[in-house]
């Protein structure tokens, strides 16, 4: 299968495939230990472990050449040299010096045994089979759901994806379901052990950042082929649609957590996790010649000196809504401003405006999910991200990171649609990579330099339209 991503997203994700019906016929050929493990799963939502999925007749082959799925998914998940192997490395990270230091600063024991860490660095707790291993990290069932209820239908002759979903398989081919699943760790959830608050980041945990389509591509260990989408076995939304839905659901998750006292408040302070880091973490000097790094942002109606709510997803949604859902765009922008203004008044007022903003987000998600996305839609969104109205809002690091990831992922969508050739995309990636370099070091972030790099990339894409 031809790799159509190219450039900075050029990873080996052209996939082979294997028939689930064939897996059932091969069930009798399983090693006794494999057969016993599957038979022991029984019914109910319990975790069976990666080893149960990793039989050589299932997903544990060394080469991917099956007729329906690759069958080497576990090998790709374990690959230590690629981003696709990041989930399998998640638990091992907890044994590294940095994690031990973070745990020590937080007054914890070993990070590898702390529920605060295991909620995202390992498969969630619950009933577990004999082959489950915490050390597997973020295993198959972290994303696909506890397999005890659906494993039998998964390998059954004549089994269908719909039957598996009814039995508890997580419907990751639905962008809304995928976003909810990924956001649990890549943004935070209501569950214990799945929220990297400001205190944990202050102890040394990396800043949380997420973009659904780009992250999906980097983790891809499955084949999107004729069987997957032309024959309608699963949904296959366009990358632009996945990106837009992911942006809306990330902001929706942010507001949901912010509204909860257990997440939105830390002691007498607001939970600073929700605010733009670099509005506070800037260089400080008493030198009269020093000029503060903060820049005026037309999207934030909040007095200078007050930490603004992180608006990286709001900026992207403003661009997406103007193209995909123009009837909601102005309403979304007005409510975003109202929410920012309320943050300067009080928590009660902010919560009220957050609820209003959340209601509009639900409408946007519905609009994005039902929209017909074309290549012209994608070109138009890239234009919107770099127009004056949006570009002037790139005053802070987080929003700029989202902008360059968006340009990258939207360009890849155009390549997938064959509206832009791989060669042309690779040429444009010179400027995209320049924009990536502009946001590589948050302490050296330069809004003007970033806008120039992003503008060159957008202009190059525009010429291809």
142 is written with which tokens? Answer: 């972290």
Among 55-69, 233-247, 328-342, name the one with the lowest average pLDDT.
55-69
* Residue-level pLDDT at 256: 97
Distance CA 38, CA 52 (A): 7
Looking at per-residue pLDDT, the higher value among 157 and 401 belongs to 401
Q: Where are the domains of the chain?
A: 1-171, 237-282+294-465
Looking at per-residue pLDDT, the higher value among 236 and 310 belongs to 310
DSSP 8-state code for residue 133: -
Q: Which long-range contacts (CB under 8 A, 24 or more apart) does 431-435 make?
A: 431/456, 431/457, 431/460, 432/7, 432/8, 432/404, 432/407, 432/408, 432/457, 433/7, 433/8, 435/403, 435/404, 435/407
38 pLDDT tier (thresholds 50, 70, 90): very low
Q: Is the pLDDT of residue 150 over 80?
A: yes
Tens digits of residue pLDDT in 372-406:
999 999 999 999 998 766 778 888 889 999 999 99
* Residue-level pLDDT at 66: 67
* Residue-level pLDDT at 224: 65
Tens digits of residue pLDDT in 265-303:
999 999 999 998 888 887 777 777 766 666 778 888 888
Options 3.90.550, 1.10.1060, 1.10.1130, 2.60.40; CATH of 1-171? 1.10.1130
- Across the chain, what does the average pLDDT equal? 84
Tens digits of residue pLDDT in 300-310:
888 878 889 99
* Residue-level pLDDT at 322: 96
| pLDDT (average), residues 12-32 | 31
Tens digits of residue pLDDT in 436-451:
888 888 888 877 888 8
What is the 3-state secondary structure of 40-63?
HHCCCCCECCHHHHCCCCCCCCCC
The answer to whether 359 touches 323, Cβ cutoff 8 Å, is no
Q: Is the pLDDT of residue 231 over 70?
A: no
Q: Which residues contact 361 (CB under 8 A, 6 or more apart)?
A: 248, 251, 252, 255, 317, 332
The answer to whether 349 touches 342, Cβ cutoff 8 Å, is yes
Indicate the SS3 state at residue 128. strand
């Amino acid at each position: 299968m031809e790799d159509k991503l190219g450039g900075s997203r050029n990873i080996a994700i052209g996939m082979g495939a294997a028939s689930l019906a064939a897996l059932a016929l091969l069930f009798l050929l399983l090693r006794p230990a494999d057969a016993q493990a599957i038979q022991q799963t029984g019914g109910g939502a319990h975790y069976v472990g990666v080893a149960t999925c990793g039989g050589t007749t299932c997903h544990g082959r060394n080469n991917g050449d099956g007729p329906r799925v690759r069958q080497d998914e576990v090998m790709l998940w374990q690959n230590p040299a690629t981003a696709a192997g990041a989930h399998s490395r998640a638990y091992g990270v907890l044994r590294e010096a940095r994690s031990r230091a973070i745990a020590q600063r937080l007054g914890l024991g070993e990070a590898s045994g702390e529920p605060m860490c295991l909620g995202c660095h390992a498969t969630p707790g619950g009933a577990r089979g004999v082959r489950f291993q915490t050390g597997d990290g973020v295993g198959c069932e972290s994303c696909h759901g506890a397999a005890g209820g659906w494993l039998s239908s998964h390998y059954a002759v004549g089994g269908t994806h719909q039957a598996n979903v009814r039995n508890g398989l997580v419907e990751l081919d639905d962008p809304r379901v995928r976003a909810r699943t990924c956001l649990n760790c890549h943004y935070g959830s209501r569950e214990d052990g799945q929220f990297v608050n400001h205190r944990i980041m202050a102890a040394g945990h990396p800043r949380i950042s997420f973009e659904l389509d780009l992250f999906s591509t980097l983790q891809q260990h499955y084949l999107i082929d004729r069987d997957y989408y032309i024959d309608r076995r699963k949904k296959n939304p366009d990358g632009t649609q996945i990106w837009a839905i992911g942006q809306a659901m990330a902001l929706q998750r942010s507001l949901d957590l912010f509204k909860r006292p257990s997440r939105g408040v830390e002691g007498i302070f607001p939970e600073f996790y929700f605010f733009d880091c670099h509005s506070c973490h800037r260089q400080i000097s008493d030198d009269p010649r020093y000029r503060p790094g903060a820049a005026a942002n037309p999207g934030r109606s909040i007095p200078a000196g007050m930490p603004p709510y992180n608006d990286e997803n709001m900026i992207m949604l403003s661009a997406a809504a103007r193209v995909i859902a123009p009837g909601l765009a102005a309403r979304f922008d007005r409510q975003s401003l109202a929410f920012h203004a309320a943050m300067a008044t009080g928590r009660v007022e902010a919560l009220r405006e957050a609820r209003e903003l959340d209601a509009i987000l639900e409408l946007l998600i519905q609009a994005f999910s039902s929209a017909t996305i074309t290549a012209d839609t994608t070109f138009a969104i890239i234009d919107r991200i770099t127009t004056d109205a949006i570009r002037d809002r790139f005053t802070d690091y987080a929003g700029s990171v989202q902008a360059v990831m968006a340009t990258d992922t939207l360009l890849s969508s155009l390549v997938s649609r064959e509206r832009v050739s791989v060669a042309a995309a690779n040429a444009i990636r010179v400027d995209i990579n320049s924009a990536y370099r502009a946001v590589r070091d948050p302490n050296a972030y330069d809004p003007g330099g970033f806008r120039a790099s992003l503008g060159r990339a957008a202009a190059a894409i525009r010429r291809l339209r």
